[in-house]
Amino acid sequence: MKVAFIDVDGMSTRCIFGGAERGRPILLIHGLTLIADIWAPHIAALEEHGFRVIAPDMAGSGFTDSPPSDGRPMIAHKVDHLCRLLDVLGIRDLSISGSSYGALIAAAFAFFLAGIPV
């Protein structure tokens, strides 16, 4: 497990990574007012099952910058930020898991990936 800060369109984004680069990517999305560290107890088990783990602090949470205020709903900002993060990491095909509010963001993200506007 390692922690790194990734530049996502000028937003410093803290991510916890685990597993092998060639493993099946899984994006772990934390709940409201939480940070990616909530996933720490689960990362080792996911690594053992061959996953490449990406657990970011969502936009405006923890050690990740807040998104610009442009009138869009916060959910849209968070989904857009995660999509851009995956672009930076070069990830296209992945699994997604969310906890509480993170599950709402994960569902919205899945709709976005399917071409349904968020």
- Share above pLDDT 90 across residues of the chain, in percent, rounded to a whole number: 82
Is the pLDDT score of 117 beyond 80?
no
Q: What is the pLDDT of residues 5-22, one digit of tens each?
A: 999 999 999 999 999 999
Q: From residue 42, how far is each of 45, 51, 62, 92 by CA, in Å?
A: 5, 11, 19, 23
- If you average pLDDT over every residue of the chain, what do you get? 94
Mean of the pLDDT values across residues 38-64? 96
Distance CA 85, CA 15 (A): 10
Is the pLDDT score of 97 beyond 80?
yes
Q: Give 118's pLDDT tier (boundaries 50, 70, 90).
A: low
Identify whether the C-beta of residue 5 lies closer than 8 Å to the C-beta of residue 14: yes
Distance CA 90, CA 101 (A): 25
At residue 54, the 3 state secondary structure works out as strand
More confident residue, 114 or 23: 23
Distance CA 12, CA 45 (A): 28
